[in-house]
Structure 1
Amino acid sequence: MRVLLSTYGSRGDVEPVVALGVQLQALGVEAVVCAPPDEEFAELLAGAGVPLVPVGQSARALTKSAPPPSSIPERAAELIASQFAVLPAAAQGCDALVATGMIPTVAGALSIAEKLGIRSVSVTFQQLTLPSPHHRPLAYAGRSFPPDVTDNQALWDLDAESNNVLFGEALNGNRASIGLPPVPNVRDYVVGDRPWLASDPVLDPWLEPADLDVVQTGAWILPDERPLPDDLEDFLGAGGPPVFVGFGSMPLHAATDAARVAIEAVRAQGRRVIIRRGWADLGLIDDQDDCFAVGEINQQQLFTRVAAVVHHGGAGTTTTATRAGTPQVVVPQAADQPYWAGRVADLGIGVAHDGPIPTVESLSVALETALTPETGARATTVAASVRTDGAAVAARYLVELINGTSDDRRALASDWRS
């Protein structure tokens, strides 16, 4: 049995797919990942023993270039074309294709599966891209929703229109080139009738609407067994638990000031700081010994050793911090990050910062709340309810679907009960 796992985006789009690949291999399935050619992704896949087929341009370069909203259709066309160029060969001999990441690349991947006549599954790592009467869709840059439209169904209709305008021409042009009919509704084509939601039910509870059958597997977590570096261990042992600050794959164009603000806010709480460089290239602002800078690191282990985590609100980082039982301050930058900030606040496990640009005062106030014993106790309680086997559940379910032994969610429900 062979499965192609297709993704395009930041580390938060790639690492969960690697986790699924590892679990599929444990079941004897040959798993191959199509992902951006970034060196960090290649190293991640090599370390997990999952083959990589590079597709498209560097995701980091695309993110840091910050193209204007007017160029979205052009950029999307390039990404879609890369899917049609690479995936047909990669998917040969596959029994299924699992697609996640950016909507235009998912649409391209699903089209290749359609052409080859193989089973496909569409996956999202948060529910905001799934039409529902219970929440509004995310707006694309340059295509904000009219302020007088508040009905969620009307907003989802506008979302479908935006997807068609931005991605429809490029997708259907490529589909025509391989003999496929046009897709009238790009968003609905990507979502399908039974999308998978690979997020934790406590952090991201799905409220079932009647017209969409969502399969929530739990978050796909890749276990990280790497030890922390010796110099970081020395820093951790030299004083009380520090506060971790990192913004993952967000470029943060005011990165120098962001580092200063974060470090000064943490110092105002009498705490030491660990700052992660990330795609924003954050760094130290002076040579005082209360700060330590890290690059790629085992966050699963590190987050259990710190007093609080200040981050951007990516799905993966939010899940990791929640699982660690560590209070959070979420400074959301874009896309789904305000949603995750809200979930952290609603659960009482941290603070949602108001807006993407913190000041020393605003971040210090947020940290003051996050560092209270009450928030810490709540974070510990919620951590005990976070599932860690979502990737294994998804792998077993996918194998049963391929084998034809399960065409509903009874097997999945059994996994959740076990």
Structure 2
Amino acid sequence: MRVLLSTFGSRGDAEPLAALAAALQAQGAQARVCTAPDFAPRFEQAGVELFPVGPTVRDWIREVMADPKPNIRERGAQVMDMYFDALPRAAEGCDAILATGLFPSTVAAQSVAERYGLRYVYAGYCPIYLPSAHHRPFQFPDRPPPPDSADNRERWALNTTIMQDVFGDAANRHRAALGLPPADRLRDRVFTDRPWLASDPVLSPWAPTSLCEVEQTGAWILPDDRPLAPDLRDFIEAGDAPVYVGFGSMGLHAWSDAARVAIDAARGLGRRIVLSGGWAGLAPVDAGEDCFAVGEVNQQALFPRMAAIVHHGGAGTTTAATRSGTPQVIVPQIADQPYWAGRVADLGMGVAHAGPIASVESLGEALAAALRPETRARARVVAEMVRGDGAAVAAKRLINSVNN
């Protein structure tokens, strides 16, 4: 049995597929991944065959951000073009396709699976992306909002229409080229009537709803045994536990002094800092010996050794931080990040900063709250509750669904 896993997105979208691929291979299946080339080293580390597609995600996002008024329809069509071109070759000899990530790439995955008669699964990493009476869909920025009186059911129904209007023409052009009939409810076809939710049920519970029946597998986590660099390890051991600051794939274009704010906030509490450059290119602001700069790093080895973790609230980083038992401060920027910030606060294991731009005062206040003994104690309790077998659960379920 061979499975193709497909996504287009940041590290938080790609790395879980490396975990699932490794779990599939551990259970006797073959797995390959189709995604952007940014994360090739992690797939190589996991022993997973990568079919790279398109430019790097980072370059694509830079191009989108440079456009003062990006056209969602055109950008979506661009991603579809890349994936409709790449997926048929990647799917050769496969029995199933599982897709996640940016919606246009999943459109291509579903259509290719339909064309070649392959088992198809859609998976999401956060419940707020799936239809539910308990939360609203995201508002498309170029579309008028529904009336305030509309309930969540009405909003999700409208979302079906909007998704069709935005992505339907490009999708049906490609479907016709594959010999497939047009799709008139594209979102529902791609999501299927039973999508998977690859998030931890403690950190990210799914509330039952008649709008969507979900199979929650737990988060897909790739074990990482890479050691920390000796100079980083020496820095950590030279004093009290530092504070980690990193914002992953966020460019932080509207928060140009993020490094200065974070460093000053930590220093104000007498804490040293491990500063992750990320896509924002954060760097030390002076020659102070209390700040250590890192690039790509093993979060599983680093986070348990931190006093607190300041981050953007991506699904992957939030899960890794939660599993480490270290308190968190989330400064959410976009998309699902306010949701994860809210969950960390609701569980009592950290603080959700109010808004995407922090000051030294606001971040210092949030960090002081995260550093309280009761917050650390709660973070350790929650860490013990979070499962680590989500990828194995999903792999077994996927293999059974194809074989049965």
Give the alignment's TM-score, normalised by structure 2. Answer: 0.97
Name the SS of the counterpart of 1:112 in structure 2: helix
Q: C-alpha separation between the residues in 2 aligned to 1:298 and 1:147?
A: 46
For 1:197-212, what aligned pairs fall within 5 Å after superposition? 197-212=197-212
| Residues 162-215 of structure 1, C-alpha deviations (whole Å, 9 max, x = no match) | 212221111111111111111112221121111000000001100111342210
Counterpart Cα distance in 1 of 2:149 and 2:78: 32
Question: What's the counterpart of residue 133 of structure 2?
Answer: 133
Alignment match, 1:339: 339
- Work out whether residues 132 and 210 of structure 2, in 8 Å CA contact, stay in contact via their aligned partners in 1: no
Residue 200 of structure 2: SS of its match in structure 1?
A: coil
Aligned ranges 1:111-260 → 2 under 5 Å: 111-143=111-143, 145-146=145-146, 148-254=148-254, 256-260=256-260
Name the SS of the counterpart of 2:259 in structure 1.
Answer: helix
1:68: how far off? Answer: 4.5
RMSD: 1.3
Match of 2:50 in 1: 52
Note closer, same or farther for the CA distance 1:63–1:70 as it changes in structure 2 (3 Å cut).
closer
1:13-412 alignment, distance < 5 Å: 13-38=13-38, 41-65=39-63, 66=65, 67-143=67-143, 145-146=145-146, 148-254=148-254, 256-404=256-404
**Per-residue deviation at 1:255?**
5.7
- For 1:144 and 1:15, the matched residues in 2 are separated by 35
Deviates more, 1:145-154 or 1:100-109: 145-154
- Shift in Å, 1:135: 1.0
Q: Distance in 1 between matches of 2:371 and 2:147?
A: 37
Deviation at 1:144, TM superposition (A): 6.1
Return 390-399 or 206-215, whichever deviates more. Answer: 206-215
Q: Which runs of 4+ in 1 moved over 6 A?
A: none
Alignment deviations for residues 326-367 of structure 1 (CA, whole Å, 9 cap, x no partner)? 100000000000000010111111011001011111101111
User: How many residues of Structure 1 are paired with residues of Structure 2 in the alignment?
Assistant: 402
**Which runs of 5 or more residues in structure 2 are unaligned?**
none
For residues 113-145 of structure 1, the C-alpha deviation after alignment (integer angstroms, 9 at most, x for no partner) is 000011010000011111000111122333363
Identify the residue that residue 413 of structure 1 maps to in structure 2.
none
Q: Contact between 1:32 and 1:53, CA under 8 Å: does it hold in 2?
A: yes
Partners in 1 of 2:273 and 2:356 — Cα distance? 20
What residue is the counterpart of 1:408 in the other structure? none
CA offset digits 1:300-340 (Å, max 9, x no partner): 11100001000000000000000101100000000000000
Aligned partner of residue 384 in structure 1, secondary structure: helix
Cα deviation 1:257-277 (Å, max 9, x = unaligned): 110011111111111111100
Tell me, in whole angstroms, the C-alpha distance in 2 between the residues paired with 1:2 and 1:363: 47
TM-score (norm 1): 0.94
Q: Please list the CA deviations of residues 48-101 of structure 1 after superposition, one character each: whole Å capped at 9, or x if unmatched.
A: 110100112211112223144542111110110111111111111111110111
1:370-394 CA distances to partner (integer Å, 9 max, x unpaired)?
1111111110111000000100110
SS at match of 1:302: helix
CA distance in 2, matches of 1:296, 1:187: 35
Task: Summarize the Cα distance change of 1:105–1:28 in structure 2 as closer, same or farther, 3 Å threshold.
Answer: same
- Name the stretch that deviates more: 174-183 or 324-333: 174-183
Q: Which runs of 5+ in 1 are unaligned?
A: 405-418
Equivalent AA in structure 2 for residue 11 of structure 1: R
Query: 2:133, 2:211 within 8 Å by CA — same for their partners in 1?
Result: no
* Whole-Å separation in 1 of the counterparts to 2:147 and 2:278: 35
Distance in 2 of aligned mates of 1:251 and 1:141: 20
Change in Cα spacing, 1:337 to 1:147, as seen in structure 2 (3 Å) is farther
What is the alpha-carbon distance in structure 2 between the residues aligned to residue 365 and residue 142 of structure 1? 36
| CA distance, structure 2, for counterparts of residue 287 and residue 256 of structure 1 | 19
Query: Does structure 2 retain, via aligned residues, the 8 Å contact 1:138–1:336?
Result: no
Letter in 1 for 2:329: V
Flag the 1:199–1:94 CA change in 2: closer, same or farther, 3 A.
Answer: same
Corresponding residue for 1:412? none
Aligned AA (1:81): D
- Distance of aligned partners of 1:121 and 1:228 in 2 relative to their CA distance in 1, 3 Å threshold: same
CA distance in 2, matches of 1:150, 1:307: 44
Distance 2:140 2:36 in 1: 22
Counterpart secondary structure, 1:5: strand
Secondary structure at 1:293's aligned position in 2? strand
Q: Distance in 1 between matches of 2:254 and 2:294?
A: 19
- CA shift in 2, pair 1:294/1:216, >3 Å: same
* Equivalent residue, structure 2, for 1:407: none
